[in-house]
Structure 1
Amino acid sequence: MTARDDILDLGKRIGQSIIGQDAMVERLLLGLLSDGHLLVEGLPGLAKTRAIKSLAKNLDAKLSRVQFTPDLLPSDITGSEVYFTEGGKGEFKFQQGPVFANLVLADEINRAPAKVQSALLEAMEERQVTVGGDSHPLPELFLVMATQNPIEQEGTYPLPEAQLDRFLMHVRVDYPAREAEAEIMRLVRGEENSSGKTAGKQAPKLDQKSVLDARKQIGAITVSEPVENYIVALVYATREPAKLDKDLASWIQVGVSPRGSIGLDKVSRSNAWLKGRDYASPDDVKAVVHDVFRHRLILSYEAHAAGVTADKVIDRVVELVAVA
């Protein structure tokens, strides 16, 4: 099997236990292939945690879960220096925290204060943790999936813009379709009835090498000059909206950062690779632009007052910016 066949099979396996959330499963694969991190926002019970657990179940990767709470400390995530004594001698040794895993679930990340949230910044961007002046590298395969609840705002701490920008994509998860609801109930019922009876029957886990090979192939995906220009035009439409539309100019306070253009290029290539093409097209860009831009736009007071969302702003940008 090729690396693409392996990844498609991985997505199929995850999809068997995540009913009615095909878009989230696809975004999870795109984040894995693009070597980026995901912020997943949705109401409780929409299989956000289940999705990354299913990924870890089918991929040869270590999963850590951190439940973010107001009393969490940065060292609870990164690890800390611990004093050990042996043979009458004592020394400090670094004890790794849960961030030292391939897949890290930061559950309800907005329930911890900024000091704790920032503990993830170096790990997400630099792929290392520095404690006591020493840097400790993280695994080559490293993905943070953070979740947050959009309706419970009491006792929460909004993520700083600097940290939001470090997420490759901001994925919104909605209720499954009506026809999927009964299928979800049947799936859970079947799991309860077969609990303990299927041990040892699980298919072999996908080796991490398949993901790393896939990333190399995605690095070779062709991005033509017109597609590059289209990405740049979309980014600059958020930075100089007055040149396109008066309403757009009144909605946007701060536009997309350079990480946004880099991220849009990466995810567009990953999307093209998943579709079996060796080149990225404008359709690949349009397919992922909302997830890449959504959390990088800072909307104005006028936009909030008028009930204009980031998705509506991005819709308007895509409508106004022509493919070169």
Structure 2
Amino acid sequence: MRRPQRQLAASLLLVLALGACARAEPPDSTPPTTPTGLTAASGSSTTVHVMWEAATDDRAVTGYQVLQDGRPVKDLPATTLMTDVTGLVPGSRHAFAVVARDAAGNTSPATPAVAATTLRATAEDREPPTAPRTLRATPDGPTAALLTWTPARDDTRVTAYDVHQAGVRIHTAPGTATTARLTGLRPGTAYSLTLRARDAAENTSPDSPPAELTTAPAPGAPPNTSPRALAAASADGEITLSWTPPETGGPVTHHELHIDGRFATTIVWGAAPPTGRATYTFPAQAKPGTTYTLTLRARLPDGTWGDFSAPRTVTVR
């Protein structure tokens, strides 16, 4: 009796294996679409900044390849939509294009090439531009924003403006620009943006005053619940935060602090939370000069955690 049972079990396993093979996904032979919106601009005598908008794929885009004069020079992950091509000859002209790829190795057609000429070398310049002023940010739908600013000044000339989010450059505009449109943002998300000016010698200005915005929520999504106007300062080895709690229809008794993207602590006010601006001071357990990126979120009356605030960077002093 045991042998027929074993044979039956083996037959069932074979049937299951054959069924699994029959249900296996067909090989992926569809390439991604061609990236769009390619731009290339020189910000110095040896560098060209290349940016593009994301491609799409029937499964997923996994990376991009940047071409210079038809030759691959950069391989980048799918989350990166801009890069600097460096080490170029001053006053030289080059053509740039971008190709998207997926996990199966399918590649899109290359974008139409865009030309850029590096700036000519100038006498040694060590004077940075002044900080741009009056930076303003306005939501432009759920995934984009419009920026405007007052130009910076330089002893030679400003060649580029770099937009930073929490210390990370996310966009570069030409030195003649006073406006920029950011894309690829998340719906219903708070951002804190700063702007820096650069000259041909790669001298960089201080940050502009920050501009905050919250993108529009996706259709049908609830309103944003992030703490507002987060500020951070450091002195004597301590960091002090201040912010305005979100309007939730009830008291906000708990806030959660994240440092560099990781949970750090829960701030509990008890029965009588602040009715206006809230403040919190904690010791900075790092040596002076260390920079932190800080975000907050509030616990809502239903017990869930709300949206994160716009991030703030602070340097330990």
Q: Whose RCO is larger (CA < 8 A, sep 6+)? A: 1
Same fold (TM over 0.5): no
TM-score w.r.t. the length of structure 1 is 0.21
Higher percent of residues as helix:
1
Q: Which has the larger radius of gyration?
A: 2
TM-score w.r.t. the length of structure 2 is 0.21
